[in-house]
Structure 1
Amino acid sequence: MTDHSQQLHTSTRAQDGTVLAWQRHGSGRPLVLLAGQANNHHWWDGVREDFHATHATLTMDYRGTGASGAPDGPYSTQLFADDVITVLDALEIERADVYGTSMGGRVAQWLAARHPHRVRRLVLGCTSPGGPRAPEQDGSVRRALAQADPAASRRALLDLMYSPAWRAEHPGPYTTLGDPAMPPHARRGHLVASNEHDAWDALRQLTAPTLVLHGAQDRLTPAANAPLLAARIPGARTHLFPGARHAYFQECRPETSRLVTSFLTAPEAAPG
């Protein structure tokens, strides 16, 4: 295991040659933090620090975002999971805790299903199993996000991420509204990857202890996905945050970070 005490921003390459940028902070047990669709590692700004008392946090820029390469594609949540494994291998990290939110939660599902020996504990936030069984956002949400006026679309996304009361006290800047430097083909690739995700059959195979979190007022990824995931994953627990929307991890940050830390640091269950 490599030393995680330093802070480091660097990169490695995927098998296809794509540059994968990653960032490591803090010391302790490794915790992989996975961001939402079309976002880079700044998604976790102002939150990752909450885990440094117990963990070294590892983030990355998905291909198509940040300092990573932006190949033509196709992109998929399984490919993103493979990229995470590439970064873990480069860092000689054999096993890590994983916390994925939104599309990052979809990526985390494949990590835990396809590489169970690499995931110690799993937190899935504001995400869904994908596929035909997952509750989808309603038509009004899709229309609001598809507006031709970028400013109007951004306002709609902001409203889906945070409650008006929280925005009134936190006027920004906001780090969860997408990577503005993404090329259009990569943005489309991320959308397709998220929309085509379907891990329903794989969820029964998950062996890592799992905590499912969701904002109760989330319309971007409807909150009904949380109990669905928890029922599908053996032994999973769930927690809803009343009044919170998609970015519950920022809006309810103190409670969320304490809950996640408590879950990740709880004693290992004794063998049966």
Structure 2
Amino acid sequence: MPTIKVNDINMYYEIHGEGEPLVLIQGLGFEISSITQGKGKADYLDKYSQKYKVIVFDTRGSGRTDKPDIPYSIEMMAEDTIGLLDLLGIKRAHFIASSMGSCIALTLAAKYPERVKSLVLHVAFHRVPFPRNVIWSLMWRMPGGKKQMMKGADFLFKQQYPPTPESFARQGLAPLNFDGRKLLGQIKASTLIVNGTKDQAVSMKITQELAQGIPGAKLVLVEGDHLFISQDINLLLKPALEFLAEVDAF
């Protein structure tokens, strides 16, 4: 299966479909087999690949991509993404990014505006508004927080290619050390944000700050938590496809 040398890592990636490039960026600890095989492929990836050339990849520290024993950063993972696109000869693309992936996409869009045609940010955030030494305990004590965290951890470590505890920890520190507030006003790409109203990982304050900070961003709120697409993928798929069609129409 396709692996390519990007910066200091061997990165695993797949390409599905033909058409204009669409890059999917996963969240913390997620690897791509959950959307390139079986039900995830049929319900999600195939809906995009009917019209677009979909590029999916495992970020550093996840899946079948290398997991170097060094500190990771959002900026580093953004450069990995651009490096992959350079090697594939892709000059410009739509991006759909989830959770931590939204931080990567924001960094890309601010630094390389000419490479980003549009952004769809899902369960998205641009900063973590708590000290990193207390964030997990705070989330655990929030109403519904324990359930969301246990559900997420159960899924992550039962994936076909789960992260190691060490690589998961290194990835987990990257968004905690990231503050994208200064980037938001630099985003020139058309942007859609699809966030949940019951998300204990991303507060409504952060959601509103993100949406208001990006010029012209469109915000869609759905009733659900950080993993709402596991209940109904169409809560993301429908607005995303409609938004992409609108962008492509111009």
TM-score (norm. length: structure 2): 0.85
The match for 1:141 is: 139
- Of residues 41, 65, 69, the one that matches 1:68 is 65
- 1:88 and 1:53, CA in 2 relative to 1: closer, same or farther beyond 3 A? same
Tell me how many residue pairs correspond in the alignment: 239
- 1:37 and 1:177, CA in 2 relative to 1: closer, same or farther beyond 3 A? farther
Indicate yes or no: 2:10 matched with 1:24.
no
The match for 2:50 is: 53
- 1:80 and 1:218, CA in 2 relative to 1: closer, same or farther beyond 3 A? same
- Aligned partners of 2:67 and 2:167 also within 8 Å: yes
- 1:201 and 1:269, CA in 2 relative to 1: closer, same or farther beyond 3 A? farther
The match for 1:77 is: 74
Indicate yes or no: 2:216 matched with 1:235.
yes
Counterpart Cα distance in 2 of 1:60 and 1:70: 14
Indicate yes or no: 2:199 matched with 1:202.
no
Indicate yes or no: 2:198 matched with 1:217.
yes
- Aligned partners of 1:10 and 1:21 also within 8 Å: yes
- Aligned partners of 2:122 and 2:236 also within 8 Å: no
Letter in 1 for 2:127: G
The match for 1:182 is: 163
Letter in 2 for 1:58: I
Counterpart Cα distance in 2 of 1:204 and 1:251: 33
Richer in helix (by share): 2
Q: Tell me the SS of whatever aligns to 1:266.
A: helix
Counterpart Cα distance in 1 of 2:117 and 2:201: 28
The match for 2:94 is: 97
Structure 2: unaligned runs, 5 residues or longer: none
Post-superposition offset of 1:129: 1.2
When the two chains are superposed, the root-mean-square deviation of aligned CA atoms in Å is 2.8
Give 1:87-126 correspondences, 5 Å limit.
Answer: 87-126=84-123
- 1:245 and 1:41, CA in 2 relative to 1: closer, same or farther beyond 3 A? same
The match for 1:39 is: 30
Which deviations, in whole Å up to 9, do the C-alpha atoms of 1:56-94 show, x marking residues without a partner?
A: 211111111111111112101111111111111111000
Q: Tell me the SS of whatever aligns to 1:33.
A: strand
Post-superposition offset of 1:43: 4.7
Counterpart Cα distance in 1 of 2:45 and 2:157: 14
Q: Percent identity?
A: 27
- 1:117 and 1:37, CA in 2 relative to 1: closer, same or farther beyond 3 A? same
Q: Tell me the SS of whatever aligns to 2:54.
A: strand
Letter in 2 for 1:157: M
Counterpart Cα distance in 2 of 1:111 and 1:82: 8
- Aligned partners of 1:213 and 1:226 also within 8 Å: no
Letter in 1 for 2:182: D
Counterpart Cα distance in 2 of 1:180 and 1:221: 26
Which deviations, in whole Å up to 9, do the C-alpha atoms of 1:157-210 show, x marking residues without a partner?
A: 25469xxxxxxxxxxx95697676423331111011021111110111000000
- 1:44 and 1:111, CA in 2 relative to 1: closer, same or farther beyond 3 A? farther
Indicate yes or no: 2:125 matched with 1:128.
yes
Counterpart Cα distance in 2 of 1:191 and 1:175: 13
- Aligned partners of 2:63 and 2:161 also within 8 Å: no
- Aligned partners of 2:22 and 2:94 also within 8 Å: yes
Letter in 2 for 1:264: L
The match for 1:3 is: none
Letter in 2 for 1:222: S
Counterpart Cα distance in 2 of 1:127 and 1:259: 15
- Aligned partners of 2:140 and 2:149 also within 8 Å: no
